[in-house]
């Protein structure tokens, strides 16, 4: 079962259970995926985007909502921040389990060894390898400094 199929099954379940907030978030996910499908067709690709692209879309959606929730908290709009956090919870159901700190360090070391990186100039290769293998399981904004430290 593809990730897209799991999302559609959850959407149908939310409709049957009349879970309006969950249904709304699932529809947003579907809309984002369909937008990416259409963009891919415009770039000459055919069909539906693969699961790794869907994972990247979901990870981006979570990041956007985390930023929004933080902004709402700072502005004192607690009810809106809670709504964003509820959407994050629904989206995260479809993301793989994030790597632990130890797993993250091991993955960075493995990617450095695998790409043969030996200086900061090779950081792009290391980051590309990590993104290809661990999309949706790592916070790449946090990983960048870790890679830079290991290569520097």
C-alpha span between 63 and 146 (Å, rounded): 19
Which whole number is the average pLDDT over 108-135? 87
Each residue of 65-85: pLDDT tens digit?
999 999 999 999 999 999 999
This prediction has a pTM of 0.74
Q: What share of the chain is helix, strand, coil (3-state, %, to 5)?
A: 80, 0, 20
pLDDT at 27: 97
* CB 123 within 8 Å of CB 149: no
Which whole number is the average pLDDT over 130-140? 80
Where exactly are the structural domains of the chain?
3-92, 101-151
Each residue of 11-59: pLDDT tens digit?
999 999 999 999 999 999 999 999 999 988 888 777 788 888 888 899 8
pLDDT at 140 over 90: no
Which whole number is the average pLDDT over 117-132? 87
* CB 7 within 8 Å of CB 33: yes
Number of helices and strands in the chain (H, E): 7, 0
Q: Which residues contact 84 (CB under 8 A, 6 or more apart)?
A: 65, 66, 68, 69, 72
Q: Which fold has domain 101-151?
A: Arc Repressor Mutant, subunit A (1.10.10)
CATH 1.10.1510.10 given to domain 3-92 = yes
């Amino acid at each position: 079962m593809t990730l897209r199929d799991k999302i559609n099954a959850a959407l149908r379940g939310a409709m049957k259970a009349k879970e309006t907030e969950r249904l709304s978030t699932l529809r947003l996910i579907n809309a984002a995926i369909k937008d990416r499908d259409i963009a891919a067709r415009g770039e000459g690709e055919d069909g539906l985007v693969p699961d790794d692209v869907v994972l990247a879309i979901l990870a981006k959606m979570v990041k956007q909502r985390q930023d929004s929730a933080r902004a709402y908290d700072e502005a004192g709009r607690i009810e809106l921040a809670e709504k964003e956090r509820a959407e994050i919870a629904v989206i995260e159901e479809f993301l793989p389990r994030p790597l632990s700190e130890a797993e993250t360090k091991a993955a960075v070391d493995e990617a450095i060894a695998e790409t043969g990186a030996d200086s900061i100039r090779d950081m792009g290769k290391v980051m590309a390898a990590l993104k290809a293998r661990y999309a949706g399981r790592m916070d790449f904004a946090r990983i960048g400094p870790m890679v830079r430290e290991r290569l520097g």
